[in-house]
Amino acid sequence: MPGGVVLIDTDRGDPVPIPELRQLQCRGKQFTLHTGIAARRGEIEAENREHQSTVLLPLRQTRCERVTIWPLCLIARLPVGARSYGGAVREDAAAVRTALQWLGLWIATTALLALVGQLNKAVWVLAVVSAVGVPVCAWRALLVWLGYRRKVRRDALYRASGQAAVDAMAGVEFERYVAAVLRGVGYTVELTRATGDFGVDLIAIRDGIRTAVQCKRQSRVVNGAAIQQVVAGATVYDCTATMVVSNHRYTRAAQQLADAHGCVLVDRTRLARLSRSRTPSTQ
């Protein structure tokens, strides 16, 4: 069974082969995902709930993140516009920009009040502002750091997903999985908007080369249409290279078209190999 994944029938607690999954779903029967070679009935409920949360559900916040984030509801936030490039949004740009805005606001306010304090011989004003501004700026910097740690954890969980989990992903989730894999091999990744992306789902940057990436998660072989779309959309995003990533194989015509345009094809086997690679990312 691929990836050591075992499906457990919750009614009986017995392992269920993968081919019987559709039959069980058609009968309305429930099953549980369990990782391991052998599954014992008493371990199913506790262990599987944890494994499902790491692969199929959003990440839970740590206690440090909850304690740090909730008081910010009491603090007014500046409007943040993420850096865009042809509709592509750099991940974490909003968080970094927010921290820089708070730091810039504190510096400007401190400088202004210092000037006012000097003119009015009120040095205590600067001390009060510094006492308030330093914790706020440190707080914002801590949030950026926690956000980075959270993204690293999320990417690690995505890369640890087995082939069966990848095949079950929705389109947007598969794009995030591919982005995590590319970051793992040293790319900086930008996400394009969900609609009107001109056939480009991701923009991967490494060594100064911008690569337009189209993600194709489907249950059949990929034809040449995907190559045509990403090659045409690459010019919109000023990309000099193209790539198509899929959880399946490619037709011979698609391979010939990719060779003609210099488009890199990542199939099921190569994607699994990339997910196991560990190259430090620039982002």
* Predicted pLDDT of residue 121: 60
- What amino acid is encoded at 158 in this protein? Y
| pLDDT tens digits along 32-41 | 444 333 344 4
| pLDDT tens digits along 197-253 | 788 988 999 998 999 999 988 888 988 889 999 999 888 888 999 999 988 899 999
Domain span at residue 256?
171-276
- Do 205 and 242 fall within a single domain? yes
* Predicted pLDDT of residue 243: 93
| pLDDT tens digits along 144-187 | 777 777 777 777 777 777 778 888 888 788 888 898 888 888 88
Please report where in the chains the tokens 């011979």 appear, as a residue. Answer: 252
Two tokens, residue 139: 């707080």
Count of Cβ atoms closer than 10 Å to residue 11 Cβ = 10
Identify which has the larger pLDDT, 91 or 193: 193
Cα four-point dihedral sign 254, 255, 256, 258: positive
User: Which residue stretches of the chain are H helix?
Assistant: 21-26, 44-55, 63-69, 93-119, 124-159, 163-167, 171-184, 225-234, 252-261, 268-275
| pLDDT tens digits along 1-30 | 444 444 454 455 555 554 444 444 444 444
Cα four-point dihedral sign 258, 173, 171, 189: negative
Q: What is the CATH number of the domain that holds 257?
A: 3.40.1350.10
- Do 182 and 211 fall within a single domain? yes
Express as a percent the part of the chain with pLDDT over 70: 51
The reported pTM is: 0.53
Tell me the pLDDT band of 47, cut-offs 50, 70 and 90: very low
- What amino acid is encoded at 253 in this protein? A
DSSP per residue, 9-65: ETTT--EE-GGGHHHHHHTT--EEEEESS---GGGHHHHHHHHHHHHTSPPPPPHHH
Of 126, 159, 192, at which residue does a domain stop?
A: 159
The C-alpha angle 237, 240, 245, rounded to 5 degrees, equals 80
- Do 238 and 268 fall within a single domain? yes
- Do 114 and 136 fall within a single domain? yes
What are the beta bridge partners of residue 246? 216
Residue 43 pLDDT greater than 80, yes or no? no
The distance in angstroms from the start CA to the end CA of the chain is 35
* Predicted pLDDT of residue 150: 77
Averaged confidence pLDDT in the chain: 68
